[in-house]
Amino acid sequence: MTPADRLAALRGELARAGVDGFLVPRGDEYLGEYVPPSGERLAWLTGFTGSAGMAVVLAGRAALFTDGRYTTQAAQQTDPALWEQRHITEQPAADWLAEHAAGRRIGYDPWLHAEAALAQLERPGVTFVPLAANPIDAIWADRPAPPQAPAVAHPLRYAGLAAAEKRAAAAAALRAAGQDAAVLADAHSLAWLLNIRGGDLAHTPLALGFALLRADASAEVYMDPGKVPAETRAHLGNDVVVRPRSALAGALAGLAGKAVQLDAEATPAWFAATLRAAGATVVPGEDPCRLPRACKNAVEQAGARSAHRRDAVALARFLAWFAAAAPAGGETELSAAERLLAYRRELPLFQAESFPAISGAGENGAIVHYRVTPESDRAIRAGECYLIDSGGQFLDGTTDVTRTLWTGPGAAPLALRQRYTRVLQGHLGLASLRFPQGVAGPHVDAIARRALWQAGLDFDHGTGHGVGSFLSVHEGPASISRAAKPVPLAAGMILSDEPGYYLPGQYGIRIENLLLVREAAAQPDQVKPFLEFETLTLAPYARALIEVVLLSPAERAWVDEYHARVLAEVAPGCDTATAAWLAAACAPLREAPTGTA
């Protein structure tokens, strides 16, 4: 079927269902950022493969809504004759519906939308109708089967806290609130609470399923029992039972008269509707695992440091190789990404990439979440920018790092060096920040933009996201963004620090390290507790792109101190040639020859 045929077939199904339109989100029933092939309904219908977005289909028109990371990609991947392109924050879907769907009945799959997300779409005159079956599934003839990877135990030496202790703490909170049970619809919560991992997604080690946590600390897991081998059942213990997903409706019906906590932002609307129909009281509340999962315990923090030190060896090998290979030519975006992955595969405890590497040369670097394919792969040429954003999943931690490089052999243009340095200044400003407890991500986002704003520049994405512990590379509830909820930053959280600048058609700049929130040493006149960031990522910045005269003495000192730390911690694990390259790349700025990296 062509894209036009698919859209026409969907409209036929909507007419048969008696609705005037349909909402097509990116997510599947687990509402996560990453979905298995069987959940890629938006990509199948539109051709857009980004990790965030939504389509709205009406009888006579259709629109695709994406954020600033994906506007260029969406325009390239979809047919403008079929799909109107809209910026999801500047041109919200709710406003589009109010303008074009007033008086219409708009269908939706209650498994694919959280109640809170549906509430944001509500406008007078637009009626939303839950459908018993997803109409896309009726026309997607070759839809892949759901994943069937086994759930496996995550050892205590990496988790740091036994699953029974986690369940006891969460159950105690339920009892204190007078609640009988909590719905856990986020597969990350199952992974953390039960100390299990899986292979249902390519880059995030999840065993997809749902759970009910009871106030007595027992739990029921709803996934295909065939995915849970005997050794995993033994790990779960007698207080955790595994049931097929088909038993879920009956289990919710059995909660009649009970108070059930449910996160309206992270749970499919089907759950609340089913519970209310059964006579249960739905109590709004955040997923009880979300904040404890984000605040890594001491073992997880130590694991993150170890994972980053190992990852740094692969990064150093890659950067040293690139410094020699790029000026010579012959490499492409795919070959460079594969080279870095090959180095990572040699590292202890490495399991997979934490996301498909963003390997963009020249104009492709300006596509914020560019994903190179054999069709888009292009040569990395001399005298241009190259952006590589990548990460690894290790049993003891998750990494995510971006470096923007100059291919050489000559000097980078002054304007490019100035813009790179302004991005670097924002990156340093956030990394070196001390802030009082209670400060949230939206409060500090501007710090990473200040140097860019002074030059009339900006970037259209958040500054930082949370990162899991051998879990998702994008983790809530905290993030650093103007649009983020004001969740206070807390000790143990790991967040990215990744300001950027993108010049469409020419190049992209992004610099990313991961930061661990920790308690800050008290100052003599301090009136309240303060926090600070510990930088986890260990990789030198691009010397050839730093316009040193723009840096303040304090900024230069920070870079020199960071580079000295990189050299001290990473060089011992490197081969002789890489260690020699690293020593040059980490020399004090005032001594560095132009074009080192």
* pLDDT at residue 592 greater than cutoff 80: no
Q: Would 386 be classed as within a structural domain? A: yes
Q: Which domain-ending residue is among 236, 267, 293?
A: 293
Please report whether residue 144 resides in a domain.
Answer: no
Q: How many folded domains does the chain comprise? A: 3
In whole angstroms, give the CA distance from residue 444 to residue 449. 10
- Has residue 442 been placed in a domain? yes
What pLDDT, on a 0 to 100 scale, did the predictor assign at position 423? Answer: 98
Give ∠ CA 569-294-353 in degrees, rounded to 5. Answer: 55
For residues 321 and 438, membership in a common domain is answered with yes
Does the pLDDT value for residue 591 go beyond 70? no
- 166 and 132 housed in the same domain: no
- Say if 597 falls within a structural domain: no
pLDDT digits (tens, 9 = 90+) for 28-82: 999 998 999 999 999 999 999 988 899 999 999 999 999 888 888 899 899 999 9
Phi first, then psi, for residue 358 (nearest 5°) are: -90, 105
Look-up of token digits 């969907």: 10
Phi-psi label, residue 132: left if phi above 0, alpha if psi -120 to 50, beta otherwise: alpha
In a domain, 465, yes or no: yes
* 118: nearest Cα among 56, 51, 204, 49: 56
Q: Residues 163-182: what's their mean pLDDT? A: 97
Domain boundary among 293, 326, 344: 293
CATH number, position 346: 3.90.230.10
Mean pLDDT of 414-419: 98
Report in angstroms the alpha-carbon separations of 319 from 233, 397, 413, 563. Answer: 44, 22, 21, 14
> Are 34 and 179 part of one and the same domain?
no
Joined together, the tokens standing for residue 456 give 């009339």
**Structure tokens that stand for 396 in this block:** 């003891």
Kindly state the percentage of the chain with pLDDT values over 90.
94
Q: How many angstroms separate the CA atoms of 382 and 331, rounded?
A: 10
Q: Identify whether residues 286 and 316 lie together within a single domain.
A: no
Looking at 108, 139, 170, which one is the last position of a domain?
139
For residues 316 and 539, what is the distance between their CA atoms, to the nearest angstrom?
Answer: 7
Instruction: Select from 427, 431, 466, 463 the least CA-distant residue to 445.
Output: 463
φ/ψ of 202, rounded to 5, equals: -65, -35
- The reply to whether 596 falls in a domain is no
What does the block give as tokens for 97? 């519906």
- 351 and 472, same domain (yes or no): yes
Would you tell me how many other CB atoms lie within 10 Å of the CB of residue 298? 10
Residue 595 has pLDDT above 70, yes or no: no
Q: Are residues 327 and 402 in the same domain?
A: yes
Structural domain of 246: 152-293
Count of C-beta atoms within a 10 Å radius of residue 378: 14
Kindly report the backbone phi and psi dihedral angles of residue 596, in degrees, each rounded to the nearest multiple of 5, phi listed first: -65, -40
Rounded Cα distance between 521 and 294, Å, is 22
pLDDT of residue 89: 85
Per-residue pLDDT at 68: 81
- What does the pLDDT look like over 373-415, one tens digit per residue? 999 999 999 999 999 999 999 999 999 999 999 999 989 999 9
Tell me, what's the pLDDT at 596? Answer: 43
| pLDDT for 590 | 78
| 105 and 229 together in one domain | no
Residues 134 and 219 in one domain: no
Cα–Cα distances in angstroms (integers) from residue 129 to residues 106, 117, 133, 269, in the given order: 6, 14, 12, 12
**Neighbouring C-alpha atoms within 13 Å toward the C-beta of 450:** 12
CATH of the domain at 211: 3.40.350.10
Q: Are residues 286 and 306 in the same domain?
A: no
Give the pLDDT score at 597. Answer: 45
For range 474-487, the mean pLDDT = 95
Q: Is residue 231 part of a domain?
A: yes
Residue 451 in this model has a pLDDT that exceeds 60: yes
Answer yes or no: do 132 and 85 share one domain.
Answer: yes
In a domain, 485, yes or no: yes
Is-contact 395 470, C-beta < 8 A?
yes
Whether residue 266 is found in the same domain as residue 169: yes
Whether residue 11 is found in the same domain as residue 78: yes
| pLDDT confidence of residue 71 | 85
pLDDT for 356 beyond 60: yes
